């Protein structure tokens, strides 16, 4: 098996190596599953996937699988390849061949690579005697399993060019005129030599000089206008594409963001630039490059067929030589990209954790960590330099030899009377012009490879199901005096996971305060997020009066709901904008009231710009208590019918918490409120306290009723909640 024959697929995101490895092996056995299909099955998160997840998913798509921990000798003699191996304890790759003391790997991060046995064992086992592998063998059901694929091609993005077709046609016409002008130059050169110089006609030479100047200025002006038009079109297309992408991401469920790293989303925005460059280049570049090459080739054949054949042979050798290095260069590019990210992360860690570094005397260690990551980049730069020098040496030799042979045969043709001296000089100019389209073609091939990866990454988001599409109906409004009824509700984050909530039956009366308590991990926050319509793929039913929860318009429900979540964020804006959020007309009375209710007055008055003080990136520069008070004020300013508080006061000092809790108890009368808290002062006044344990409701009642039971709630009071008295 040649190294080129084994499949490789570049992982789309930082944590995609698991599903990418499954895709590689599936492709080897003849099935090409999409990454979205495999990612959805793998339950991929920001932490990636486990070997257990890969084992389950491989079985679902039709593989017989066997996870093993074994040594190199057993791997060599007892295992059928290809298989998935756990690499460096943090990555999955596909091992597909061991031959002549070389180990061949298809690495989703960098490409097809080979290692010495020693390097392989270090990456696979580190210093242990055994490494982890997943042996996969297709069963008959593997070939029966069919994925419903979504079509994704560049055609979906060509539509962004349609509003600008008239401009692009003008650019195209300008480029064709530019080619026509450039075609005149070789004939001018020929005429200067064969007529002007031969006959010593200075007037004729002056005339051609003036014509050359006019044509040159016309060509430069035309190119200037074309570039301005292309810049305008490129900017408009990019804005439209990215705007639609951002619109799409904002319509996706919160689960999408929970499994994506910020860098993954930013990379997809940058991917649009690659796609835009490719579709513009392919639209104009292929037409112009092909047209100019054909026209110049016809003229060169007219001058001398031998010169054309030498040029074609040299060009073919030139292209083949460059393509030989293309895969190696891409492998180094992938490694260089990853090493740069690692180096960047070291700098970010130093900048973000300077206090911890100083307190723990880690200055030298962190500097050494950065230097080690920088050494990796240096090694890759040396490898890239060696590769580039080898490639450039070959292309230079081919190009020089091609020019030598062309000059020799052109000179011979002049001596034999087959060409004039002017034709020889014109032919040299034409050959120079023909080199441009060849370089553009090579660039287009590289651009296509990059754009294809970008297209798959972007399409993964484009074909994600939106929140509204998950709902059964989206036209129902929120009824007044709504009572929430939860019937037999169960929920798990993924089909392969255990249930986080099990058989929840609960009624939340209108205008009452419900407190949910329980140990960490008991499902409290998950239940609240379901009530906020952030998680919708639950089992069981929820009714608002007699209306199915999923039939209510999701935006109308949230407009009637105010929430303070544990992970609530402060925007990089003023205190005012963090409370009112949008640009609607400010209700001064309402704003003054929520500031009073949340005890924000003293904090605001201490700042220089008062309510117009910018509170910093994500709340940097303010305390946890100040942040929570702003978030509570934000929720109250909406004047919602439903309020959801998840540990909304846990960062407040006792004085502020007591005062704000008292204010809220008076203000929230008549509003349906759901509270998650660990503090007794927050929950004891609730109309109903619900105790969760391991995802199930184990107790319900008022504070006094549950204390008298001396069960779960009583133990929580003693172990976790603040006892008063």
**Full DSSP string of 353-390:** THHHHHHTT-HHHHHHHHHHHHHHHHHHHHHHHHHHHH
What residue ranges of the chain are covered by domains with CATH 3.40.50.300? 480-719
Q: Work out the pLDDT band at 399, boundaries 50, 70, 90.
A: confident
211, pLDDT greater than 70: yes
Distance, in Å, from the CA atom of 684 to the CA atom of 620, rounded to the nearest integer, reads 33
* pLDDT reported for residue 618: 52
24, pLDDT greater than 60: yes
* pLDDT reported for residue 616: 66
What tokens were used for 309? 């054949």
* pLDDT reported for residue 146: 67
Identify the H or E element spanning 3. none
617, pLDDT greater than 70: no
Which of 82, 189, 185 has the alpha carbon at shortest distance from 137?
A: 82
109, pLDDT greater than 80: yes
Q: Please, which residues bridge with residue 138 across strands?
A: 63
Distance, in Å, from the CA atom of 676 to the CA atom of 689, rounded to the nearest integer, reads 10
Q: 3-state secondary structure string, 407-420?
A: HHHHHHHHHCCCCC
472, pLDDT greater than 70: no
Q: Work out the pLDDT band at 190, boundaries 50, 70, 90.
A: confident
111, pLDDT greater than 70: yes
Other residues' Cβ atoms within 10 Å of the Cβ of residue 664: 24
Q: Region 130-142: what's the mean pLDDT? A: 85
Q: Work out the pLDDT band at 147, boundaries 50, 70, 90.
A: low
Distance, in Å, from the CA atom of 524 to the CA atom of 645, rounded to the nearest integer, reads 11
The CATH classification of domain 480-719, taken from the options 3.30.750.24, 3.10.450.50, 3.40.50.300, 1.10.8.50: 3.40.50.300
Per the model's pLDDT, the better-predicted residue between 50 and 313 turns out to be 313
Task: Give percent of the chain above pLDDT 70.
Answer: 93
* pLDDT reported for residue 340: 76
Q: Region 129-155: what's the mean pLDDT? A: 74
What tokens were used for 650? 């846990």
Per the model's pLDDT, the better-predicted residue between 120 and 2 turns out to be 120
* pLDDT reported for residue 485: 92
- Cis omega before residue 82 (within 30°)? yes
Q: Region 634-662: what's the mean pLDDT? A: 83
Question: With contact defined as beta carbons under 8 Å apart, do 283 and 427 qualify?
Answer: no
Q: Region 403-418: what's the mean pLDDT? A: 87
Q: Region 47-74: what's the mean pLDDT? A: 84
* pLDDT reported for residue 725: 38
Distance, in Å, from the CA atom of 39 to the CA atom of 683, rounded to the nearest integer, reads 41
CA distances from 537 to 343, 460, 620 (A): 39, 20, 35
Question: With contact defined as beta carbons under 8 Å apart, do 648 and 488 qualify?
Answer: no
Helix, strand, coil abundance in the chain, percent, nearest 5: 60, 15, 25
Question: 2 — alpha (psi -120 to 50), left (phi > 0) or beta?
Answer: beta
Q: Work out the pLDDT band at 468, boundaries 50, 70, 90.
A: low
Q: Region 27-37: what's the mean pLDDT? A: 84
DSSP-derived secondary structure letter, 614? B
CATH number at 3-144: 3.90.70.10
Residues ≥6 apart with Cβ < 8 Å to 95: 75, 81, 82, 83, 84, 85, 103, 104, 105, 133
Which of 14, 89, 10, 18 has the alpha carbon at shortest distance from 49?
A: 18
Mean pLDDT is highest, among 370-374, 527-531, 571-575, 657-661, for: 527-531
Q: Work out the pLDDT band at 94, boundaries 50, 70, 90.
A: very high
**Cα-based torsion angle of the residue sequence 327, 328, 330, 333 in order, rounded to the nearest 10 degrees:** 180
218, pLDDT greater than 70: yes
DSSP SS3 for 562: strand
What residue ranges of the chain are covered by domains with CATH 3.90.70.10? 3-144
149, pLDDT greater than 70: no
Q: CA end-to-end span of the chain, whole Å?
A: 78
Q: Region 670-674: what's the mean pLDDT? A: 87
Q: Region 123-136: what's the mean pLDDT? A: 82
26, pLDDT greater than 60: yes
* pLDDT reported for residue 487: 92
Distance, in Å, from the CA atom of 575 to the CA atom of 15, rounded to the nearest integer, reads 36
Q: Work out the pLDDT band at 677, boundaries 50, 70, 90.
A: confident
Side-chain half-sphere exposure of 502, counting CA atoms within 13 A: 11
Q: Region 371-392: what's the mean pLDDT? A: 86
Q: Beta-strand (E) ranges in 235-358? A: none
Q: Please, which residues bridge with residue 673 across strands?
A: 513, 643
Phi, psi of 288 (to 5 degrees): -70, -45
Per the model's pLDDT, the better-predicted residue between 203 and 25 turns out to be 25
Distance, in Å, from the CA atom of 693 to the CA atom of 691, rounded to the nearest integer, reads 7
At 327-343, the pLDDT tens digits run 777 777 777 777 777 77
* pLDDT reported for residue 502: 92
479, pLDDT greater than 70: yes
* pLDDT reported for residue 724: 44
Q: Work out the pLDDT band at 2, boundaries 50, 70, 90.
A: very low
Mean pLDDT is highest, among 194-203, 211-220, 284-293, for: 211-220
Mean pLDDT is highest, among 122-126, 236-240, 411-415, for: 411-415
Enter the pTM of the model: 0.69
At 690-723, the pLDDT tens digits run 999 888 999 899 888 988 888 888 888 877 544 4
Alpha helices by DSSP H, 416-523: 421-462, 467-470
At 225-239, the pLDDT tens digits run 877 887 888 888 888
Per the model's pLDDT, the better-predicted residue between 326 and 513 turns out to be 513
As a whole number, the mean pLDDT across the chain is: 82
Which of 547, 277, 321 has the alpha carbon at shortest distance from 438?
A: 321
Question: With contact defined as beta carbons under 8 Å apart, do 712 and 698 qualify?
Answer: yes
What tokens were used for 581? 């959020």
Q: Region 274-294: what's the mean pLDDT? A: 77
Phi, psi of 616 (to 5 degrees): 95, 170
Q: Region 302-317: what's the mean pLDDT? A: 88
Distance, in Å, from the CA atom of 633 to the CA atom of 665, rounded to the nearest integer, reads 15
Distance, in Å, from the CA atom of 484 to the CA atom of 71, rounded to the nearest integer, reads 58
């Amino acid at each position: 098996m040649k190294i080129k024959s084994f499949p490789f697929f570049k992982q789309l995101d930082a944590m995609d190596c698991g599903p990418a490895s499954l895709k590689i092996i599936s492709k080897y056995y003849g099935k090409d599953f999409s990454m979205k299909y495999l990612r959805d099955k793998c339950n991929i998160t920001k932490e990636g996937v486990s070997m257990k997840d890969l084992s389950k998913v491989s079985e679902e798509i039709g593989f017989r699988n066997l996870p093993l921990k074994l040594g190199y000798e057993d791997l060599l003699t007892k295992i059928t390849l290809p298989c998935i191996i756990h690499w460096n304890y943090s990555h999955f790759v596909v091992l597909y061949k061991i031959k002549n003391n070389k180990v061949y790997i298809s690495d989703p991060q960098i490409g097809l690579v080979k290692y010495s046995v020693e390097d392989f064992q270090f990456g696979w086992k580190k210093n242990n005697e055994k490494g982890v592998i997943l042996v996969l063998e297709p069963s008959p059901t593997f070939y029966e399993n069919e994925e419903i694929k979504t079509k994704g091609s560049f055609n979906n993005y060509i539509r962004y060019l349609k509003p600008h077709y008239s401009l692009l046609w003008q650019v195209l016409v300008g480029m064709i005129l530019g080619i026509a002008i450039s075609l005149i130059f070789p004939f001018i050169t020929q005429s200067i030599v064969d007529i002007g110089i031969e006959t010593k006609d200075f007037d004729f030479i002056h005339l051609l000089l003036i014509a050359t100047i006019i044509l040159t200025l016309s060509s430069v002006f035309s190119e200037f206008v074309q570039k301005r038009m292309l810049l305008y079109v490129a900017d408009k297309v990019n804005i439209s594409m990215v705007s639609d992408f951002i619109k799409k991401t904002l319509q996706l469920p919160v689960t999408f963001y929970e499994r994506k790293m910020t860098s993954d989303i930013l990379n997809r925005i940058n991917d649009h630039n690659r796609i835009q460059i490719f579709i513009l280049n392919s639209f104009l570049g292929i037409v112009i490059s092909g047209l100019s090459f054909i026209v110049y080739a016809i003229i060169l054949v007219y001058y001398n067929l031998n010169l054309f054949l030498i040029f074609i042979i040299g060009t073919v050798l030139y292209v083949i030589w460059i393509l030989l290095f293309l895969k190696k260069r891409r492998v180094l590019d992938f490694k260089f990209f990853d090493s740069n990210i690692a180096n960047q992360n070291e700098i970010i860690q130093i900048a973000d954790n300077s206090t911890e570094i100083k307190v723990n005397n880690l200055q030298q260690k962190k500097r050494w960590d950065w230097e080690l990551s920088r050494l990796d980049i240096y090694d890759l730069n040396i490898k890239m330099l060696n590769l580039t020098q080898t490639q450039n040496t070959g292309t230079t030799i081919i190009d020089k030899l091609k020019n030598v042979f062309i000059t020799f045969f052109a000179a011979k043709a002049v001596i034999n009377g087959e060409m004039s001296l002017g034709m020889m000089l014109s032919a040299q100019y034409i050959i120079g012009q023909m080199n441009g389209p060849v370089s553009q073609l090579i660039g287009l091939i590289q651009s296509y490879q990059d754009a294809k990866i970008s297209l798959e990454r972007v399409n993964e988001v484009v074909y994600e199901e939106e929140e509204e599409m998950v709902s059964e109906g989206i036209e129902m409004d929120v009824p007044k005096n709504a009572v929430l009824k939860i019937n037999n509700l169960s929920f798990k984050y993924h089909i392969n996971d255990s249930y986080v909530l099990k058989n929840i039956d609960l009624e939340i009366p209108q205008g009452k305060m419900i407190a949910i308590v329980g140990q960490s991990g008991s499902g409290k926050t998950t239940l609240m997020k379901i009530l906020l319509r952030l998680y919708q793929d639950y089992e069981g039913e929820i009714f608002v009066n007699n209306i199915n929860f999923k039939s209510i318009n999701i935006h109308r429900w949230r407009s009637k709901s105010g929430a303070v979540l544990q992970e609530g964020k402060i925007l990089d804006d003023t205190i005012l904008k963090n409370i009112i959020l949008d640009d609607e007309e400010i209700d001064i009375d309402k704003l003054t009231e929520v500031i009073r209710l949340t005890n924000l007055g003293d904090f605001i008055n201490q700042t220089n710009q008062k309510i117009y003080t910018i509170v910093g990136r994500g709340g940097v520069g303010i305390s946890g208590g100040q942040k929570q008070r702003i978030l509570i004020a934000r929720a109250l300013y909406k004047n919602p019918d439903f309020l959801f508080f998840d540990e909304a006061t846990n960062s407040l000092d006792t004085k502020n918490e007591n005062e704000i809790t008292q204010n809220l108890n008076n203000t929230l009368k008549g509003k349906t409120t759901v509270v998650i808290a660990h503090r007794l002062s927050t929950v004891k006044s609730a109309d109903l306290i619900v105790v969760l344990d391991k995802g199930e409701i184990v107790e319900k009642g008022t504070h006094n009723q549950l204390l008298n039971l001396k069960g779960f709630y009583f133990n929580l009071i003693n172990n976790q909640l603040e006892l008063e008295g």
